[in-house]
Each structure stands twice: as structure tokens, then as C-alpha cells.
Chain A
Amino acid sequence: MHQILLALGFGLVTAAIVALSTVALSLQFSVTRTINFAHGELMTVGAYAGYVVARAHGNVVFQGLAAMGVGALLAWLLNRSLFRTFRRLGVSVLILLILTIAGSQVIQAALQIAFGATTVNYPRGAGASHQVGPFEWTSTDIFTMLVALGVLIALHFMIQRSKFGKAQRAVADDILLARTTGIRAERIIDITWILDGAIAGLAGMLLVFQVGSFNPTVGFTFLLVIFAAAVVGGIGQMYGAMIGALIIGVVMEVGAIYVSPDYKQSVAFIVLVLVLFIRPQGIIPARGEATVL
């Protein structure tokens, strides 16, 4: 029992990181309707940005801000260089997908040339261990969860209450209708990407802050988990993404008790396959999709 609670604690920490990244992916998906295979690289550049600042003895707040800044910049560039250009050419979703894979490879190769392909260690201290209710968390764990929770709550209010959020939801719903009501759709899409990159970059930095060592493929490898969470939750759905992340994170860590931790990601995959068979539209289906497919 103690072991399960311990794993549950780990699961919540993992879920916090997965949730951030999955929500970012969903946000971006809601306006572009295209899965971005370069999403993992937004996390990776965030991780390296944090790493560079940490090596220069910047404190953890600056590390996080650097990760957000670089992630946002890259996301904006991805939108301008790939998504917007090719959408105007009217290419199909699949071609866009291939382009995002190519983009992901360009970024990975560039990082490899800049930082080397070998694993580097993130300078950090895990901090003291705390007993919180039934769980045992380190200071790093608690910090990670609080940051994730803070960002998600801020995002919730931003999307639900602010004028930008209203416009963002309108664009996600129907871009033509949004345009006719005077919303500057391209600007909203730009800002959505920037938000996506900032949150994903932060998630990447938090991830390597947790696991310690990483290399240029860290984000791409983690993409598997993000996709699983996104599909389980219902892709393009912010709140579905949070639920999906919680399920995937907890199942992965608790599952690691029963099978070897090496197979942790396989557990996420099994959940994904089960969901695809039982409830292919995800837990919270995207509007107008559940019945069509």
C-alpha cells in the first residue's frame, strides 16, 4: 500500500509536467487542427535554455523564464515559417504533418550540432524530502506541481474570462465566422502559438529539472506520452488534456510498480490503445467530431 501511494505521488508530479505540455499542444491544435510533431522540440529548447541559464548560475525563476521565452520564440517561428506559409498554399493535413516532422528534425539536428548529441546533466538539487499527507515529495516535486497548477489556473482564466480568450475560442470554433466579426484571426493564431511555446518550453525545463540528465531527443521521446494524454483526453480539448495527463501520468508511475520501470512508456501505450478501441473520441470529445467518425 505504501508503495502504491509513493508511486501515486510520483504519478502526480509526472502528470503535472504532462498536463502542461498536453494543454499547450491542445491549445495549438484548437486553432491549427494539425498535430505538431515538432511539439517535443519546443520542450527540448526550453530544457536547453534552462540549462544554459542554470550553468551561468541564474536562479530557477530565470531558468523558467528563459525556457518560456525561447519556447515561445521557436513556436512563433514554426507558425510563421511552416504553418502559415503552407496553409496559404492549401496543402493537406498530412503534408503539414510531414513538414512538422521535418521541422522537428531540423531543430534536433541544430541542437545536436550546438550542444553535442551526448547526455548532459542539469545542475539542480532535489531538495529535502517532505511528507505531505500520504505522499512523499521532494521540494523539487512540490515546486513542479505548484508551478504547473499556477500556469493551468492562469490559463483557465485567460481563456474563459479575458477578451483574448473569447477571441481565441471564436477562432478555434470557426475561423471564417471569427474573421467576419472583426477578430484579427492571424494575430490570435500567433498569440496562441506563443502561449503554446512558452508553456511547452516551461514543461521541458521542468521535465529535465526532474529527471536530471537529457540530450537533444528528450522532447521527441516524451512526445509519445503527450500524444497518449492528448488522445485519451480528447484532442484539442484543454480540460480533456488535463484529465488525460492525470490518467497517463498516474497509470505510468503506478504501472511501473507491477512491471519493470523500463516498460513505463509501454503502459502509456496500452492505455492509448485501449482508449482508441473503447472510446476513440477521447474522454471529452471535440465538438462535432464524435458523431462523424
Chain B
Amino acid sequence: MISYITSVATIGAITAILCLGVNVSWGWVGQLDLAYYAYVAVGAYSASVLELPRNIPQPGLNYSYILGLHWPFLLGVAGAAVVGGIVSAIVGTIALRRVRSDYIAIITAVTALMAAAFLGQSPYLFGGQIGTYGIPLPFQSSLNLGTQGYNFFFLGLMLVFLALTYAVLQLLFKSPFGRSLRAVREGDVAASAFGRNLFSVRLRAYIVGGTVGAFGGALFVNYISAWNPSSWNIFEVVLILSGVVVGGRANSIGVIIGSVLVLSIIPEVTRLISVFGGSAADGPAVAALLAALLIIVILRFRPAGLVPERKLTSSEPQAPSAAAANANASLSTRVGA
């Protein structure tokens, strides 16, 4: 039981990182990035080929992974995050060229579908349909902790990474860069009238999102130790997005709550389906159904999510000094960003 809870919590921490990443594009700037899971996959694949040796341990397969550098865990994860940033920069340059928000959604969706099809067919990059496997658990050999002790250690490690991601993103959110992102979300015409380069602002946010996604993917593959095309499809994005929508977009605490609810609690509860006489094979479908219905219900009755973003509104009565401070703040935004 305790090992079950530890594993659910570990996956929960990793998916919370994934949700925080997609929140940068969707919550802060308001662009719907359906290629997000491709960056998670890019991170997972990159970490695999950076950390694994070149040769595939299975006899009879006459191909090898690219790179195969046999790097240690931390370097592998960092490298994967960099690769994710580069790939998202390339995709972003294509997808964000047109300002129309629905085009961004189409192009990123198409990119994700293409990437999955292409990587599945190309054994010489990341092992094609078979994918990468046998990624060693980080520090396991040097720690000598026993299975349960190691599981606790890994969970702790993931929680540290989650806290780090949260702190870094929170700093970014409050920085002039974060403010200009929200300005673009609330009114891109006004933001560009104030001298923001819309394309550059959007692209930078997109790269931050892609980097976090790849980082989370790299952590994920180090936990589950294998990755192949069947472990990611476009609906994973929907699940991650629903974590953000349900929790409250642009509110990091809300996003973490939403991700635990949608990506940990719902799937685990639907495992019980066989207890109630359903077929266990339907579990994932029922979980997907519930998550999607939850998005619709939340958007209908509580559109800002369970924990809404705190916004400064001009309708609030303000004392003169506070108003002056605010004016100063907005001035420094203008100068600073």
C-alpha cells in the first residue's frame, strides 16, 4: 500500500511539473499549445539517448540510438531541457508567425501528430516503435537504500524539482517579462501599442513552456525507464490542459491542485471500475471521459477554475497612495520589460 501511494505521489509530482509548463503558454499568454506533449516526449527521448549507452541491449535489432553518450542523470535531464527549448523555438517560430489564436492551435496539433508519426517510423533516432528502454534509475547504484527507501528518495527528489520549477516560474511570472505576457493575453493590440513585440514575447513564453515540458519528460523517463510512441499521444495534452483549466489557469497553486485531481485522483479512482462490475480495460477510457466532462462542467460553472488567478482590477476602490503606487508600478513595467 505504502509503495503504491509513493508511486502515485511520484507520478503526481512529475505531472504537476508538466502542468506548470503548459500553464506558461496557456495560462500566462493564452496560446493553446497542442504540441506540448511533443516536448515532453522530446525531453524523454533526449534524456534516454543522453543517458543510455549507444547499443540497444536486445539481440537481433541492428540499429542503435543516436548519441548514446552515457551521461549521468543530472546532465541528461539538463541536456533534455535544452533540447526541448531548441525544438520549441523552431516550432514556435513557425506556429506563432500568425497571430490568429486558432491557427496556433491547428499548427501545434498538426506538429504533435506529425512528430509522433515520424518518430514512430524512424528506428535510427529513438528506436522507432520500440522506443528507448533500460534507462537506469538515478543514483540507485550509489545509494544502497533498498527498494522502499529508494522510492522515498526518488519521490523526495521529484518534490524538490517540483518546488524548484514552481519557484523559478513564480519569479518569472512576477517579473516584467511575466507582466508583459499577461498584457499580451489581455489585449495584444494594446500591448503592442505599448511597444511590446508580440511575436518575440509569445515566442519566449513558448520556449519557456517547451523547456519545462522537456524537463518534466526527462524526469518521467528516468522514473518509468522506457519511452515509445504509444506512451504519448495528443490526448495527453488534453489531460494536462484540463489540469490547468480545472485548477485555475495562471495560478500555480491552482494548477498543481488541478493536476493532482485530474491526472492522479481520477485515473486512480477509475481503476476501481472493475470493483463495480465494469471491465478493467475500460479504465483509461472512463478516466479520459471524466476528465473531459470535468473540463466542460468547470468551464460552464466556474470558468476561472477552482483556484482563480488573482488579478488587479481597476474597479476596486483604491486609496490615493495605493493608486499612485500602482501608477508607479505600471510605469516601471513599461520601462522594465
Contact = CB atoms under 8 A, between A and B. Distances in A.
A binds B: yes
A191 to B, nearest CB: 24
A282 to B, nearest CB: 11
Contacts of B285: 109, 112-113, 117
Contacts of B99: 293
From DSSP, what is the main secondary structure of chain B's interface residues?
helix
A108 B233 CA distance: 14
B224 interface: no
29 contacts: A34-B102, A35-B106, A37-B105, A37-B109, A85-B300, A86-B299, A86-B300, A94-B101, A95-B299, A95-B303, A97-B101, A97-B105, A99-B299, A105-B289, A106-B293, A106-B296, A109-B286, A109-B289, A221-B113, A227-B109, A227-B110, A262-B117, A263-B117, A265-B117, A266-B118, A272-B110, A276-B97, A276-B103, A280-B97
Interface stretch (B5-13, B134-142, B145-153, B235-243): B235-243
A101 B102 CA distance: 12
B98 A276 contact: yes
Contacts of B303: 89, 91, 95
Nearest to A81: B296
Interface in A97-123: 97-99, 101-103, 105-106, 108-110, 112-113, 116-117
A263 B296 contact: no
A126 interface: no
Interface string A72-102: 0000000000100110010101110111011
Given A276-B94, A280-B98, A260 B121 contact: yes
Contacts of B118: 263, 266
A35 B105 contact: yes
B98 A293 contact: yes
A110 B117 contact: no
B282 A101 contact: no
Contact of A94 (B30, B242, B291): B30
A102 B296 contact: yes
A10 B183 CA distance: 49
Contacts of A272: 107, 110
B296 A82 contact: yes
Contacts of B18: none
Contacts of A116: 281
Given A99-B295, A110-B289, A224-B110, A262 B102 contact: no
Contacts, number: 116
Contacts of A106: 289, 292-293, 296
Contacts of B106: 35, 227, 231
From DSSP, what is the main secondary structure of chain A's interface residues?
helix
Contacts of B245: 98
A239 interface: no
Contacts of B100: 293
B329 interface: no
B196 to A, nearest CB: 18
B32 interface: yes
Nearest to B104: A94
B114 interface: yes
A97 B94 contact: no
Contacts of A97: 32, 101-102, 105
A128 B22 CA distance: 52
Contact of A266 (B109, B117, B289): B117
Contact of B114 (A34, A82, A269): A269
B40 interface: no
A220 B32 CA distance: 18
Nearest first, the 7 A-B pairs at minimum CB distance are A109-B289, A105-B292, A102-B292, A112-B285, A102-B295, A109-B285, A109-B288
B101 A93 contact: yes
A228 interface: yes
Contacts of A95: 299, 303
Interface in A236-293: 260, 262-263, 265-266, 269, 272-273, 276-277, 280, 293
B127 to A, nearest CB: 16
Given A86-B300, A99-B295, A265 B101 contact: no
Contacts of B300: 85-86, 89
Interface in B106-162: 106-107, 109-111, 113-114, 117-118, 121
B238 A102 contact: yes
A277 B289 CA distance: 37
A220 B233 CA distance: 11
A95 B249 CA distance: 12
Given A102-B238, A277-B94, A277-B97, 15 more contacts: A35-B102, A35-B106, A82-B296, A93-B102, A99-B296, A106-B292, A109-B286, A109-B288, A109-B289, A113-B285, A223-B109, A227-B110, A263-B118, A263-B121, A269-B111
Contacts of B111: 269
A98 B113 contact: no
Contacts of A86: 299-300
A262 to B, nearest CB: 5
